[in-house]
Amino acid sequence: MNYLEYQPYRTMNFTINKFQTIFIGVWVIFNAISSSGQDFGIESQLPYSMYDLKYNVLIDKEINNQYIGDLDVSSLLEKYDGFDYDVRYNQPLQFAEVIDKDYLMNEGKWENVPDGRIWRLKLSSEEALSINLKLKNVVLPGESRIWLVDKYSTSISGPYNQNDVTEDGILWTSIVEGNTVVLELFEDSNFSGQSTLTVDEVNYGFIDFSTGSSGNCQKDVVCAEGDNFRDPIRAVAWFTIEGRFLGSGTLLNNTSGDETPFFLTSDHCFKPEFDPASTVIYWNYQSATCGDRSGSLVDNQIGAQIRARRAVGDFVLLELKHKPFNFSNVYYAGWDRKNEPVRVVSIHHPKGDVKSINTSSRKVISTIGYNSDIFDKNGSYWMVNWRSGANEPVSSGSGMFDSTSGLLIGSLDGGKSGCDDGDQELNDWYAKFNFNWDGGGEPNNSLKYWLDPLNTNAENLSGKNPEIASQNLIISRKARFRLNEAAMYAQIVQAADFVKSGGELRLVEHSEGSSLMPINQLQETPNDFKDLEKLKEDFDNKTIKELEDLFKSTDEVKLIEYLKEIKDEK
């Protein structure tokens, strides 16, 4: 049984229609092929307990349960969510409370399976709205992996391998929504008895991300206001730190164009005592339709280090642990050190809600500093008033973009705007990109050493799409029997996005069963793949042609409906 050699994605949900949301593992979609181009079966990225039928093994459904206790959610909301926490008080918004634990492996349950054994432990709390974990003493030798699974096996975090573990044995996980998680470890049979972990902290979520927590003046980025900014929108992400705090930030290009994943956010979101390795970046947390105000938190990656920071100018420049994967479809935003007032937009995650866009009512004003309306052409801050949208907690750190060029010119420190009556007329302040460029004059407190490694002294830099490495996307028709029949449709939707962004569709057959495979810059088809014509036992030529046409179209609804019809016929 093969496993990926490199870091896979976490989980993703797919909304099939307004009333039905389907959760499946992104690794099923994104990482069927590793960065080396080797073919891996879809099942290899699922928790072992979800595909036991393949191995003719009955996995015990009874799992040892640890009740982590309950917190007073109402009191926590009143304490942490009752006022504009980060914008007006320069503190990161807290969405979870830590419960210190020391759950050892003897509190879970081991079972033998082919290729190794699995260990599972259930953690539950009646009132929790989400759970994420800090694990310590983590050792995952060989192909050993860790997952977190909700109680319905619909929302899954992982797999995590030794690459995700810090040098001191710490592993931070992404969020699993709901009040129950099952922690699952697969131990490689070649390293029996060598895998270890301890549950150090359970982060108990008390904010419901599924309901939309931001004000009613916010605009989804998918709305018309975002039409001229589709590229910079892809650069903006939502993140958690220490499993409890939230922020917004922007992925930036640098003059070498080497796609080093530099991520700009605010200094006040990163307290000195916070571990940057606990950073979890959530890409594409945004609505699918204008006004829906719902999205998925599950396209994510973990780990970062701080390259530069400065309280004056309120910025932190992170370097993420690894580049975003192809299928996150990110963009490396460009920037401009200009000092001329322009009309602007801001792209952010207000109150930790789905990605939103503000548009200015007039040109920004250069001021002498934060929270000042004193004009100074060479001042350090931009003051802005919004025509549409507003900033709220968790907007901090987000970027301000020139409405004409789409280049980043500042990052949010704080302000007074909001969605309540009268608040939308109030001002916000963004530290000028130009001000933080030189910063404190040293590599650890300025942007230029990192974003201009070639020392070009560039005044501006265009954004860029990442180079797409040779990577195949295999979608198995067999997978629907393991991930519910709707899983295939969700995978097809993601594949359609891939094709529309420049990928090529092929229908292939391989040893794991018939598949649909979009291919972008594929240099060589693996030897075990057969010709397109060999698929007649699963799809006739008419079906193939119609599928190809649907993939190339923009009508995902018709594509899903067509696939449902195919499923009913087969």
**Residues that are catalytic:** 268, 314, 396
Question: The tokens of 306 are what?
Answer: 């701080």
Residues found in the chain: 570
d(CA 153, CA 23) in angstroms, rounded, equals 9
| The dihedral formed by the CA atoms of 266, 267, 268 and 272, expressed in degrees to the nearest 10 | 150
Q: Residue 133: CB partners within 8 Å, gap ≥ 6?
A: 123, 148, 172, 173, 181, 183, 199, 200, 201, 202, 203, 243
Closest among 23, 31, 14 to 50, alpha carbons compared: 23
Residue 559 CA neighbour count, 13 Å, CB half: 23
Q: Dump strand ranges (E) for 128-220.
A: 130-139, 145-150, 156-160, 171-172, 176-177, 180-188, 196-205
Question: Helix-strand-coil percent breakdown of the chain, rounded to 5?
Answer: 25, 35, 45
What phi and psi, each to the nearest 5 degrees, are found at residue 150? -75, 175
Q: Provide the phi-psi class of 303: left if phi over 0, else alpha when psi is between -120 and 50, else beta.
A: left
Q: Which residues contact 217 (CB under 8 A, 6 or more apart)?
A: 388, 389, 390, 419, 424
Q: How far apart are CA 82 and CA 394, in angstroms?
A: 14
What 3-state class would DSSP assign to 50?
Answer: helix
**Angle (deg, nearest 10), helices 556-569 and 541-552:** 160
Return the number of other C-beta atoms located less than 10 Å from residue 33's C-beta. 20
Sequence-distant (≥ 6) Cβ neighbours of residue 5 within 8 angstroms = 34, 35, 36, 38
- Residue 27: which of 322, 354, 323, 301 has the closest Cα? 301
SS3 528: coil
**DSSP state at residue 73:** H
Place of tokens 């259930």: 122
β-pairing, 109-113 vs 116-124, is antiparallel
Structure tokens at 510: 């391989």
